[in-house]
Structure 1
Amino acid sequence: MFSIYILTYNEELDIAACIESALLSDDVVVIDSFSTDRTIEIANELAERYPIRVVQHQFESHGKQRTWMLEAVSPKHNWVYILEADERMTPSLFQECSQAIQSTEYVGYYAAERVMFMGTWIRRSTQYPRYQLRLLRHGNVWFTDYGHTEREVCQGNTSFLRETYPHYTCSKGLSRWLEKHNRYSTDEAIETLRQLESGRVNWRELLFGTTEVERRRALKDLSLRLPLRPIVRFFYMYFILGGCFDGRAGFAWCTLQAFYEYLILLKIWEIKQVSNPTLLSPSIQPQLRDAN
């Protein structure tokens, strides 16, 4: 058996279904970032009937939130699966995870997401299979920040699961997606500036990487240096990856991702143009100081 941690912030539309999918485990922990909607109320109601713990911690960043969670909230079991509120655990994935944790060879496992958008699985334009580290041995995996997201630091070998998990990326509506990615674009702009100043493209991993994770991250570093990034991303996703075969949902997804890239470029321009950092919002100022 393994514990399941669920990360939440204003997830009232998803939290019940997410928790119910996780109840295959006898230790479910909700880590909430002080939601302002009914997320906590719903989680507490379910905690009265099921083996659920509900903990709140002020959000700083995705990497810091995960590391705090692993350090401050002790799991019942030696292995932990990290579940986002708009993702679901499935019986087949749970069974494979239960078998995987019997091995002493690995400290973490990557699982591929199935992005569900506009009522369908958009397989091609989402770079499927796109892996995220989800199952980990407690005490052997930590997280650092990278842009608006996180990257894992593993003290040992990792492997890949065959089963996938559904990710309902726009389940709370397009307005929520736009609001969330408007925030994300600021972090991505700052990370892009950092990478352009101090990073480099790992051509070996890009061309000869042994895993999808290595190749995708090297491709990400290369994409930061390309001109006309929004147009390039749309062309790459829609035509090269085959998003054109994902129907209307594929076209909408590729368009949104191209818009997101353009928003990042606008944020980069804004940061460069603002000579006085105090003109930026308080949440951006510490990140901008770190970037400098």
Structure 2
Amino acid sequence: MNHIINNNKLKKQSLSIVIITFNSENIIKEAIISANFADEVLILDSGSNDNTVEIAKSLGTRVVTQPWLGFGLQKQKAIELAKNDWIFVLDSDERITEKLKNEIEEVLKSPEFDGYYIPRLNYFFGKPIYHCGLYPDYTIRLFNKKRGRFTPDPVHEKVIINGTTGKLTNPMHHLAYDSIEKFIEKQNRYSSLGAKQNRLKAMINPFWTFFRIYFLKLGFLDGWHGYLIAKLYSQYTFWKYTKEK
């Protein structure tokens, strides 16, 4: 009897990976493939009119449709629909690497914390960015949904954990922007969602944004890409404080 093993301690916690989508046909396949080690992959789609849903279903993914609620509420809806308590929230332009997958599986054998910060390696215009304040870019993505939930913010949402948090070491890859045009398009949309009209900040904050990213956060070490990122984020800051909510 002294040699009986407690199987409950050895059993890995089941994992659901959730992804929200809208017209993501060009990037969703690789996201799902990187997530296919999970016990469940759930797509919450907000009405795509391209082949996003068909691609997801062809890969054996569970797909649910939900009209757009804003980023925070949409992601919260996705985790509520997930079958398992342990959740990893993955965006369609993010990829779980093999090393991160192995680390997640090891953690789920006996989780020490209620939520985990995951480092992100952001790619801008085809290049990984290690400065500009963009790395390691920790964000909570792996958590027990009984202890964590998303804020209802329409943009720049985050996970709040009612409990303890830890950090993983291996980064996921974020294919942030493959062209300047897409960056401008997305930041123009985000600046409208997060608009806080303030003329004084519109005049001052863009200069501070550039200085902080390019000099204080060592963006110059990323070469031309670092300069572009600092310049484009300063433009986003200007839009945010210029637009009416």
Please report the TM-score for the alignment, with normalisation by the length of structure 1: 0.73
Aligned counterparts of 2:232 and 2:154: Cα–Cα separation in 1: 18
- Select the structure with the greater relative contact order (CA < 8 A; seq sep ≥ 6): 2
Output one character per residue of 1:58-99: Cα deviation in whole Å (capped at 9) or x when no partner: 11111111211122x132x33111100000011111111122
Q: Secondary structure at the match of 2:119?
A: strand
Aligned counterparts of 1:251 and 1:176: Cα–Cα separation in 2: 17
Do 1:7 and 1:32's aligned partners in 2 also have CA atoms closer than 8 Å? Answer: yes
| Shift in CA distance, 126/39, structure 1 to aligned 2, threshold 3 Å | farther
Q: Does 1:34 align with 2:47?
A: yes
Q: Secondary structure at the match of 2:192?
A: helix
Identify the residue that residue 150 of structure 2 maps to in structure 1. Answer: 143
Aligned counterparts of 1:7 and 1:226: Cα–Cα separation in 2: 32
1:186 is aligned, of 192, 197, 202, to 192
Q: Does 1:247 align with 2:223?
A: yes
Q: CA deviation at 1:252?
A: 1.4
Please report the TM-score for the alignment, with normalisation by the length of structure 2: 0.86
1:265 is aligned, of 226, 231, 241, to 241
1:229 is aligned, of 197, 205, 208, to 205
- Fraction of identical pairs, as percent: 32
Output one character per residue of 1:187-231: Cα deviation in whole Å (capped at 9) or x when no partner: 2224x87xxxxxxxxxxxxxxxxxxxxxxxxxxxxxx97961111
Q: In the TM superposition, what are the counterparts of 1:31-180 in structure 2 within 5 Å?
A: 31-47=44-60, 52-71=61-80, 73-75=81-83, 77-146=84-153, 148-171=155-178, 173-180=179-186
Identify the residue that residue 218 of structure 1 maps to in structure 2. Answer: none
Aligned counterparts of 1:16 and 1:115: Cα–Cα separation in 2: 19
| Shift in CA distance, 147/225, structure 1 to aligned 2, threshold 3 Å | farther
Aligned counterparts of 2:150 and 2:101: Cα–Cα separation in 1: 23
Aligned counterparts of 1:18 and 1:181: Cα–Cα separation in 2: 22
Unaligned 5+ runs, structure 1: 194-223, 272-287
Is the helix fraction higher in 1 or 2? 1
Q: Does 1:23 align with 2:36?
A: yes
Q: CA deviation at 1:101?
A: 2.4
Q: CA deviation at 1:102?
A: 3.2
Unaligned 5+ runs, structure 2: 1-13
Do 1:4 and 1:83's aligned partners in 2 also have CA atoms closer than 8 Å? Answer: yes
Aligned counterparts of 2:73 and 2:235: Cα–Cα separation in 1: 28
Q: Secondary structure at the match of 1:11?
A: coil
Q: Secondary structure at the match of 1:247?
A: helix
Do 2:23 and 2:52's aligned partners in 1 also have CA atoms closer than 8 Å? Answer: yes
Output one character per residue of 1:256-277: Cα deviation in whole Å (capped at 9) or x when no partner: 111111111211xxx2xxxxxx
| Shift in CA distance, 104/87, structure 1 to aligned 2, threshold 3 Å | closer
Do 1:3 and 1:28's aligned partners in 2 also have CA atoms closer than 8 Å? Answer: yes
Aligned counterparts of 2:202 and 2:111: Cα–Cα separation in 1: 42
Do 2:20 and 2:78's aligned partners in 1 also have CA atoms closer than 8 Å? Answer: no
| Shift in CA distance, 118/176, structure 1 to aligned 2, threshold 3 Å | closer
Output one character per residue of 1:12-49: Cα deviation in whole Å (capped at 9) or x when no partner: 111011111111223211111111222112212222xx
